[in-house]
Structure 1
Amino acid sequence: MTAPRRDSALRAAAVLVTVLATVVTTLLEVELTSLRVGGLTGLFHGETDVWTGAGRLIGLAIPVTVAVNLALARFAVATIGRSWAIGVPWALWTLLTLGAAGTRTTEGDYLLGGDNWVALVVILVGSVTFAVYAYRMIMNPLTADPTPS
């Protein structure tokens, strides 16, 4: 393969990996928004259904969302090598999250309900995380490699 073809193939593979990682981590974040204290303690007692626990919501999804979205943004930009690469996980994460906010389960509940403060904060903080990373990229743009490979 010639260098430009190999470079394009690697970029395409990086986009694919970024898309897959974004889908998997977004589903994890959505699931963590409904985690409750009773469910977490049930996990330590050997119960398998930790999502139906009673008690207050645990905001574990919030720091997980910040860390994962920063990692996704950094991974996308580093592997794809273009500043537009941050748009791939950001747009996909936003579409999946807003789709989950408008989707009802078979029981009639929303995946990300308006009465779940963790879900609302995750939607806000997740998007702001990508925005802050994009702002930092604007302030410190990518530098082109002076030596061609």
Structure 2
Amino acid sequence: MYRSFFPRDVFAEMDRLQREMQQAYDLSPTIRGFARNGFPALNVGSTPKAIEIYAFAPGVDPATLEVHLERGVLTIAGERKTPLSSADAKSTIHINERFDGKFHRVLTLPEDADPEAIEARLRDGVLHVSVQRRASSQPRRITIQ
């Protein structure tokens, strides 16, 4: 009945707008305190030897992904296109809850992150970025003579 008044799902549009506003004002989050509900969703953890970042980006073409590390700031950017967004003009979209479009996430890494030792892999929609810690910051055992 109300579908004639609202050709798209109003609540999905409001949710999409809120996500875009949060991403627009997301200012350089740190490794421990980054904003929630951004795309792609991130899991960040660390070991004594590395910082591990997992970005969950299903449906993202690997050719559109860009990973940059500059001055301790890691940036993940790309674009996701859904089949509905490229459908012909005759089709009507009733509900579109999946994010599509350009995105970027920014993460400030700790000072001991080594910009020369970074590795990124994409598999099954999960981007895994591993940043090694500098050798000088590694724990080591000192022998007593």
More strand by share: 2
TM-score normalised according to structure 2 size: 0.32
Q: Which structure is higher in helix share?
A: 1
TM norm structure 1: 0.31
